[in-house]
Amino acid sequence: MNVYGIKAIYLFEMARTWRTLMQSIASPVLSTSLYFIVFGSAIGSRMAQIDGVSYGAFIVPGLIMLSLLTESISNASFGIYMPKFTGTIYEILSAPISAIETVIGYVGAAATKSVIIGTIILVTARLFVDFSIQHPVWMIAFLVLTSVTFSLFGFIIGVWADSFQKLQVIPLMIVTPLAFLGGSFYSISMLPPFWQKVALLNPVVYLVSGFRWSFYGVADVDVGISLGMTFAFMLICLAAIWWIFRTGYKIKA
């Protein structure tokens, strides 16, 4: 086990986070604050409660999820895309470090950053709306699990992308719509029956639902199913990464 190697990659990636503090941490916090001001305070005060939770508080878990997804993907994909783009990946490939160790370094750093951002948003949200967390341990578990899973997904996108445009296309065209339609701003029980069924095909629904359950004890789908689906998606990502390194796909000639 090349612990020094994992540490080197992890610290390199974290250094990148601190170096780009404004764009990597300040901007997601700012944009989320805007959501709270508009939806939480301004519009939310005129909305009815959902499942016994005020609208402002209701959207907190969904908004954190939204940031976790987008930040995990963009950070992890950029982290592995850049060495490919500049060519510095030669060093990773020639180092005595295994695929798993490389992934732990990159994905670990991306997930760490997401957890930091999620926590900051949580604290920021508390300034705008009043809420409590019923199951703090589960809340942290969902926070970490989602960060890791979507950092893995981001890593895959970073390997797959061979242009900056491709790097943006999946987060923008697929993940953002899924996140918005995944019940961040509403309960899927508010949808017509047909669309409720369609919504269940959206993996983000399970994440948001499970995460919201850890806050307020209410959920669109059973929390066990939420957890199971998150794990299932993580396994799919891990399998894809295993395949990438086994075949050298887009990394190794």
Positions touching another protein (CB under 8 A) are 2-5, 7-9, 11-12, 15-16, 19, 86-88, 90-97, 248, 252-253
- The nearest distance, CB 113 to another protein, in angstroms, is 17
- Select 126 or 250, whichever has its Cβ closest to another protein: 250
CB of 154 to another protein, least distance (A): 20
Which sign, positive or negative, has the C-alpha torsion 61, 66, 68, 69?
positive
State which residue, 9 or 59, has the beta carbon closest to another protein. 9
The nearest distance, CB 51 to another protein, in angstroms, is: 47
CB of 39 to another protein, least distance (A): 36
How many C-beta atoms surround the C-beta of residue 133 within 10 A?
A: 15
- Beta carbon of residue 38, minimum distance to another protein (angstroms, whole number): 35
Which residues, in sequence order, are CB contacts of 126 under 8 Å at separation 6+?
none
- Closest to another protein by CB, 3 or 201: 3
- Where residue 217 falls (left for φ over 0; alpha for ψ -120 to 50; beta otherwise) is left
Are 249 and 158 contacting, i.e. CB atoms less than 8 angstroms apart?
Answer: no
Q: Where are the alpha helices (DSSP H) in the chain?
A: 3-19, 21, 27-35, 55-86, 89-94, 99-128, 136-160, 164-170, 176-180, 193-199, 203-216, 223-247
